[in-house]
Structure 1
């Protein structure tokens, strides 16, 4: 049905009438989207079935990637592209008077993630399928995802994200494969044939029902699976609980991503979510393996389970529970299989982000799992005692359970055979500081896997104009082999290529300017520098530094008649977690300075500030291709890797950043002359934290630019904000500026002045842009996933 446009049109019209029960002339864009989605899913169903059958028949090792987030974005466009049928579909629909882009707009972004963690997982799934590797995702089918962000009077308001309002054309419900998950209750211990047995009784049962989504590789027959679990009531209701209360509590497990955990009920719900994900996923994996092999003694030879950050770390005691209680193995055999099956990626150096669960919550909710974690901890501490006799302090610091808390990162390290960071700098910080004691004890476990992003979505799909230019210049090999982008490097100084590159960038800037006007009513100068910072809003990512610089520019423009700047459009996009009040104040601050700048006729020809609400994958696909400057200005040592930096680079934006995360490796690739670097290094930051010596008041009192902008936070400069920015003021002065915003301010201003100067040297700027694109192939997720496959998972392509 996709062999040519005439066959497609005939099949499309017939399917639409059958599916929607109406004539084509009466159909809506949503009817047309659902029809096309169903056709695509049917088209790949044979390959989907064959991929699963081939994996089973060949008994090859498969990886299951467990993640609390999968930030997929829209799938129609990428699926058409990966299948190689986009042109046929676009032409056929055009003949019928339909614009494919209008149909794509009907698809909601799948509400299954928040930021880099979830988008990385989605990129990995794309690369696994495109490289013909047997790898599947396991996640939760959140009914509402995170939230829809609305801005009201400059303040963030959270609305439920209704991504499933119109259903999900890509999913298939598989009720017959549901897995029973047990909470609460107690453990009965008895003796049988000389060994202890454990039974979890009086538990509250929840059914995990899988919804499978196809993950389609690029120009290959491989179709892997993302299995998402939905929490539903079991057939046997708990006798001690009101039926409606049980139903509400059960459905809440898969209702929202990251429920508010400021209260105990929220903490219980989050822990429930995490165990629900791993119990359902491992139950499903084990069932499939038993069906094929009859036992679990060689599970680790056929299955790799990857824990994406600590949220799924309960996979370790859950697999132990199955091997001990259901399979009847000895502890030693079960531990050998578990540790050789499970691997773990750490995504943070922020101590507050390392999960710790109070025992008084963990033990009653998961009684058998807690017993197993306790035993893992006892045995681990005994090993440490043998290795470091008498070193109680070290053992206390490394223990999995200590001071009334279960430490999930410690559990993940102890219970896995591989622990990796996501950028060279991040991994070195883990080894030398955050996880130093573990690295000294088991150095062979630790390794680095620098993140990557799928160039097929972030370049080929998001920026077809640039993709066409690249293919015209070096051929199409780069689409399957992204490191072939390096062949662009000789063209970086070519004036014909530079002119074509400039034309593409201008087209994308015009497109984004149109979208900005539609969304905000603000007209931006398409010839201005598009300076972009889009990412989750967090203090360490330092959106505040960006805003204080904008305030400084505004002050100069207002006070100095001869001062002028090259026109600049500052673009922000970010969601703040609902309970993160400091971050929400930063959003208000961005809107307050935007209100001043954009309405001031004295400045708005040179300066505009835009905040695009509800930042998400589909919006990001419009922003990245239009950016000139990529703001990657986190406090050095705090950003594990970053992946936005790679998406900007791929689209020819120049990085303005600190030496943090993967910025360090971008620097190694492109050279210092093709980036704008500033600020403290990671070693300098860590030295301040360790030895003290930083006094933010000194910078406040000795730099009049800093004093002016900081004072403006509280002196009535923003009349619409009242005292809303006092906590920001206090964070910089009373709390000594934890993320060194004031320390790096002068260097940031200087770097921004250099950006402006170089941007006006058009040949030099375009050469820098081309060199960044040429070196971006290394930062494709195909390379990252191949490294995981070879060095951690031991999986191989299935042809």
Structure 2
């Protein structure tokens, strides 16, 4: 049974219970694991000692005697080995004579976890004493990957644990493979969040992440006759040794209900149950935290319903509650799906803000005006942006602040990062759904929108007057910005109808145009009369710092920060051979935390001996990747071929189909070649990986096309090893750690202007993998650091895209190779032509579609870039020179640099290093 937490009660992370000396003496000579004498964790309260003692006396807690008790784990080889054996026996419950790889992994993980928690406790205690400002990173995704190797390496215990497991007959690599990937994310958004947490801890910044403890993740991807098959990702079935359950920390989160005189009475409530996941920094004593929430029912089981034979009703509340944290991004094609996804977002945001506010009060702080000096929330994309309304609600309805005070605090505390320029990814919730699920929040959003639009009117009219223009008759007049009246949805609809009465041919007046473009509540362009809440715009208006199109209106809020990835996981740990060569060449491993030092490799790019070593490392990683491909798919691939990789979520704007069209063209060309001509072909292994959203049928067709082409190409004796096509199912972080070090060419080929940044290209760059791509997203900055001449650039420029889209219906300049490829698909060369017809029509038949992502326009340019790839790869010295320059130019793209800039320019959070003793 979970109950609502009383904010003034001190409980959780710092409460401890240690056996007194008399009890510990009675354990002498018995096989008791060290953790028996370890303190339990307590919630990070940040209280001063005086306040802590006062509250502990009030709550009946005791400071147990620990003096003289040596309960800390030892780190010598023998001590670690003994500890692992004890964990296997007494925690895992394994028979020493029949230990599975998974049990061995668990034994090692619980041993490492013990040392991790020790540093975690010290960190939270130190921060509690210093009472610094915290950064709280709100994200719907945290794609953490496996934790064992990352934790061991970050804690600096690789030698001790490497030797200990070797003496037990294992290698760390074997045990790492037994760990299940945490299914807490899907793509770049979640991986970025994970990199950021690693850097926050490494830079000694007081910071926690907040998210959802998904029970089944997004889905586990399989292939059934080449079609994507979605299965639940039951990643928690064997437990998770890295998390710490906090049953004493929970919060109620409400939905639906009524609002009477600004008081919300929820109709439905769930309990947010807490799980902590310590995040170790590298080369530091600091251990941060990722706090995840699981949704549980207020009433677990209705016995009266069960006794009356209503078995479904007895557990209905449990099922509804658990739905919220079951699956990442539930399908929102239905009304229920929309509600569930919004529920999910509000659930973790509400619990997180309640938790932070409780922590603030428990430190002894009473004045909410000081809240922005102790807390900053970073909203990672639009999923957490309901935080604007929730923080306002809690400050006004729960803490009794007036609107102006609450708004001032909110806009000083929240920051927002927008990672996409794709309109469909900028969430817009129907007012009807928002009002039904969160009626009080809809009231607050309505008022924010009303005040914002009044401010807009004043700005626009001032600009019109400055430019000497007159607004049209009937243009809206500004009201006082701080007006108290709340504009309801009905009033907004009435105003819209009045506007529609104007002649359609007449140009919109500047005010109306601005309101339509920048209003938080706006019309649905595809459903007349349906109002939407634009969550990105809500975040912009309610934040202190942001990026995006609102720059002209609020330039003081906007900052651009180049994303980054952690060089620990994405170079030092996943590619230890290359890392060792880099360290040997640069003379130290300082580059692991000071990535700009990689620039030192630039002077070795033309050194033939160094190039030879570089090639040897790449070949070794290719051989490993080839082994993994065979293990997963059964396909044998040659290691002397060019390894050409595109791994990312499957989406039309990512243009995996453009890649496939070039593969088909290559295949058809090889089929026509003589034996002599084939000797001149650069062999290729083309690898794809990524998931299509469950409701995204066009992306699923793209996967089927890849597998269908692969089935033909890989079994054609005329082609042999000159071309292989591989789709690796269930792409995740661990698979990426195999693929990226062995990759030689990576494809980042989205339509120019559609990718806000992207980070997978940065991981490839760090590992010396060359890039073929458009001038889009991070490719632009990678070109600046590496030299544009060293990338294979193709495609239209972003500024030309709108015009080309307008002209697309009249596009007639089809490359002959394009025509041949389209014909091959539709004549059944690769199987069911009827199934692929939609995919072809979408890019080829402008009477049925519009080729929105300009695949046909870019095809010829793309094919020329591919020809250049072959020419450069044939000259291995030149290819290796470029590969070295890629790694040398990757220092800018360390997430440490990104986080340093966020902390300095946006969060105003300072490092608080944890002392060694």
Change (3 A) 1:581 1:381: same
Query: How many angstroms apart in 1 are the aligned matches of 2:842 and 2:810?
Result: 10
Structure 2 residue corresponding to 1:406, chosen from 519, 522, 533 = 533
Q: 1:415 & 1:697 partners in 2: Cα distance?
A: 44
Unaligned 5+ runs, structure 2: 1-72, 306-311, 462-474, 476-510, 524-530
- Helix, strand or coil at the partner of 1:723: helix
- Residue 3 (1) aligns with residue 75 (2): yes
Secondary structure class of the residue paired with 1:156: strand
> Kindly tell me: are residues 772 and 384 of structure 1, through their superposed partners in 2, closer, same or farther at Cα, counting changes over 3 Å?
same
Given that 2:301 and 2:315 are in contact with CA atoms closer than 8 Å, whether structure 1 keeps it comes out as no
Alignment check: 8 A CA contact 2:827 2:833 kept: no
Between the aligned partners of 1:694 and 1:461, the Cα distance in structure 2 is 46
User: In the alignment, which of 718, 721, 736 is matched to residue 605 of structure 1?
Assistant: 721
User: In the TM superposition, what is the alpha-carbon distance from 1:2 to its structure 2 partner?
Assistant: 5.5
For the pair 1:157 / 2:229, whether they are aligned, the reply is yes
Aligned to 1:784: 898
| TM, length-normalised to structure 2 | 0.82
Residues 237, 374 of structure 1: alpha-carbon distance in 2 compared, 3 angstrom cutoff: farther
From 625, 630, 644, the equivalent of 2:760 is 644
Displacement after TM superposition at 1:765 (Å) = 1.1
Aligned pair count reads 771
What is the CA deviation profile of residues 726-783 of structure 1, one whole-angstrom value per residue up to 9, with x for unaligned ones? 1111101231321111111111111111111111212111110001001111111001
Secondary structure in structure 1 of the residue aligned to 2:731: coil
Q: Deviations over 1:645-666 (max 9, x none)?
A: 0000000100111100010000
Alignment match, 1:681: 797
Say if 1:619 and 1:22 are closer, same or farther in 2 by CA, change over 3 A. closer
Conserved in 1, the CA contact under 8 Å of 2:686 and 2:726?
yes
Map 1:603-682 onto structure 2 (within 5 A).
603-682=719-798
Determine the C-alpha separation between the residues in 1 that align with 2:733 and 2:396: 42
For residue 790 of structure 1, report the CA deviation from its aligned partner: 0.6
Is contact 1:137-1:225 (8 Å) kept? yes
Cα distance change of structure 1 residues 401 and 698 upon mapping to structure 2, 3 Å threshold: same
The equivalent of 1:193 in structure 2 is none
- Distance in structure 2 (CA, Å) of the matches to 1:465 and 1:509: 12
Name the residue aligned to 2:352: 281
Counterparts of 1:32 and 1:279, CA distance in 2: 39
**Match in the other structure for 2:48:** none
Aligned position for 1:88: 160
Which of 163, 171, 174 is 2:243 aligned to? 171
1:717 aligns with 2:841: no
Which whole-Å deviations, capped at 9, do the CAs of 1:463-489 have from their partners, x for residues lacking one?
A: 000000000110211012111111111
Q: Contact 2:206/2:911 (CA < 8 Å) preserved in 1?
A: yes
| 1:336-375 alignment, distance < 5 Å | 336-375=408-447
> How far apart are the structure 2 equivalents of 1:466 and 1:246?
53
Q: Following TM superposition, by how much is the alpha carbon of 1:711 offset from its aligned partner in structure 2, in angstroms?
A: 1.7
Q: Secondary structure at the match of 1:307?
A: strand
> What secondary structure does 1:605 align onto?
helix
Bigger CA drift: 626-635 or 557-566? 557-566
Matched residue, 1:222: 286
Per-residue Cα deviation, 1:356-414 (whole angstroms, up to 9, x for no partner) = 11111110211111111111111111111222244122123211112311110110100
1:541 match: secondary structure: coil
Separation (CA, whole Å) in 1 of partners of 2:122 and 2:791: 46
Partners of 1:773 and 1:652 in 2: how far apart?
5
Q: For the pair shown, which has the larger CA radius of gyration, 1 or 2? A: 2
8 A Cα contact 1:531 1:571, kept in partner: yes
SS at match of 1:177: strand
Alpha-carbon separation, structure 1, partners of 2:660 and 2:881: 29
Contact 2:790 2:882 in 1 (8 A): yes
Q: 1:41 to 1:333 in 2, by over 3 A?
A: same
Query: Is residue 362 of structure 2 the alignment partner of residue 291 of structure 1?
Result: yes
Asked whether 1:126 is paired with 2:237, we answer no
Provide Cα deviations, 1:441-479, integer angstroms capped at 9, x if missing partner.
111111101110011000011000000000011021101
Q: Which moved more, 1:623-632 or 1:725-734?
A: 725-734
**Match of residue 61 from structure 2:** none
Task: Tell me by how many angstroms 1:615 deviates.
Answer: 0.4
Aligned to 2:626: 513
Please name the residue that 1:736 is paired with. 850
Q: Which residue number corresponds to residue 265 of structure 2?
A: 201
* Kept in 1: contact 2:94–2:103 (CA 8 A): no
List aligned pairs for 1:475-494, cutoff 5 A.
475-494=588-607
Matched, 1:181 2:253: yes
Once residues 315 and 11 of structure 1 are traced to their aligned partners in structure 2, the CA distance between those partners, rounded to angstroms, is 44
1:712 CA drift (Å): 1.8
Among 876, 881, 884, which residue is 1:770 paired with? 884
Look up the SS of the partner of 2:852 in the other structure. Answer: coil
Is 1:16 aligned to 2:88, yes or no?
yes
Please report how far the alpha carbon of residue 326 of structure 1 lies from its aligned counterpart in structure 2 after TM superposition.
1.4
Deviation at 1:237, TM superposition (A): 9.1
Of 458, 472, 489, 2:570 maps to 458
Say whether 1:448 aligns with 2:577: no
Q: Could you tell me how far apart the structure 1 residues matched to 2:170 and 2:539 are? A: 51
Unaligned runs of 5+ in 1: 190-197, 421-429
Deviation readout 1:508-555 (Å, 9 max, x if unpaired):
000111111111111111010001011010001111111000110111
TM-score by length of 1: 0.94
Distance 2:422 2:434 in 1: 23
**1:556·1:563 contact (CA, 8 Å) conserved in 2?**
no
Deviation of the 1:617 alpha carbon: 0.3
CA distance in 2, matches of 1:465, 1:2: 30
- C-alpha separation between the residues in 2 aligned to 1:218 and 1:522? 38
SS where residue 826 of structure 2 aligns? coil
Q: 1:418 aligns with which of 537, 545, 550?
A: 545
Alpha-carbon distance in structure 2 between the residues aligned to 1:646 and 1:137:
23
Q: Which residue of 1 aligns with 2:671?
A: 558
Q: What SS does structure 1 have at the residue aligned with 2:776?
A: coil
Q: Is the 8 A contact 2:299 2:318 kept in 1?
A: no
Contact 1:19 1:35 in 2 (8 A): yes
